[in-house]
Amino acid sequence: MKKNKKIIILLILVCLLSGCTKTLKDKDKKAVVNEKTGQNLTENILCRPTEKESIKLYEENGIDLDKLPYCACTTKKVKTEVEVEQEDGTKVVEEKEVDCESFKITSGGYEGLWTSIFVKPLAYVILFFGRITKNYGLGLIITSLLIRLVAYPITRKTAMQSEYMKKAQPEMERIEKKYANKDQNDREVMMQKSQEMMMVYKKYNVNPISGCLFSFLQLPLLIAFLEAINRVPAIFEEKFLFYHLGTTPWIGIKNGNYWYILVLLAVAATTYFSFKAIKNDSVSTNNEMARQQAMMTNTFTIMIIVMSVFMTTALDIYWFTTNLFTIIQNLLVRRSVKK
């Protein structure tokens, strides 16, 4: 119990100390939008954009891109356009070669606990795998899977707890029936009931709190992925299959690309089945509690599905990947418990 409280407090502190993505705004304080993707551009990007439209928008709104490293370098020199003033005072744009400095975890120096410890390393790993696979969409998927594999010992324990809870359910229901007609305001009666329930938990090695642990862990991971995607142009400028990673399904569908419907269906299906597994595995000895749990699960599922319409496709891909991992993990755990 104490350990779980400490972890929750730590996660809250991390979120409070987050650097947060800053939206690029024009002189009228309106968000600058890339008309091509429908994405609000980020002011505090970690590395340079490469799309001409994005570069133009950043420069027009006072962002000095020369101070930023390139997201990834394939050569030691890169060609860039610079504005040169002529003898007659006119200005022309010329192309020249400059040294290519790749983004590193230490690029830009220390930018606060959240950015320096979470966002930058995550962005670097996505770029690393994206460079190897020559696609940042694949880099995003590999990074998502890698994080889930690292967290697997924790998530497996959480899944195991659900299976143990199912085994304990018949005995928990008998306890509920035993005390159903007794005075629920009698402190001694309630203490006796709690003690019997704790004995059942101990018998089946159940920790009622541990099931919530990874739910709290997922929140900072989701925020960190959102930050990395929004602050690294190489990711939100990239394409993966039929999709532009920086475009939301809503904008994609509005622009006539109906392949984005598949993204929404994939997120909806995996979200539904991952939460359904949790709902089926939870102990519901009280009808009212069971209804509340079902309502909360359904509400959260619908909320995620609606959010996926307006999240960037890159974040939808992350959510789909992590959901799919969860579904497969729960199936494997269920089989191992039944053996």
Q: What is the pLDDT of residue 2?
A: 47
pLDDT of residue 283: 46
Alpha-carbon torsion angle 332, 336, 337, 339, nearest 10 = 140
Which of these, 245, 303, 257, lies nearest to 39 by C-alpha position? 245
pLDDT digit string (tens) for 95-149?
Answer: 666 677 888 888 888 787 788 888 899 999 999 999 899 898 999 999 989 888 8
End-to-end CA distance of the chain: 30
Asked if the model's pLDDT at residue 286 lies above 70, the reply is: no
Which two structure tokens, joined as six digits, stand for 25?
A: 């705004």
Structure tokens at 16: 């409070």
pLDDT of residue 19: 53
Average pLDDT, the chain: 77
pLDDT at residue 142, rounded to an integer: 93
β-partners of residue 78 are 98
* Cβ pair 322, 152 in contact under 8 A: no
* pLDDT tens string 206-262: 766 555 555 566 667 778 888 888 888 888 888 888 888 888 888 888 888 889 999
In a 3-state reduction of DSSP, which class is residue 195? helix
How far apart are alpha carbons 248 and 243 in whole angstroms? 9
* Rounded Cα distance, 233 and 246, in Å: 9
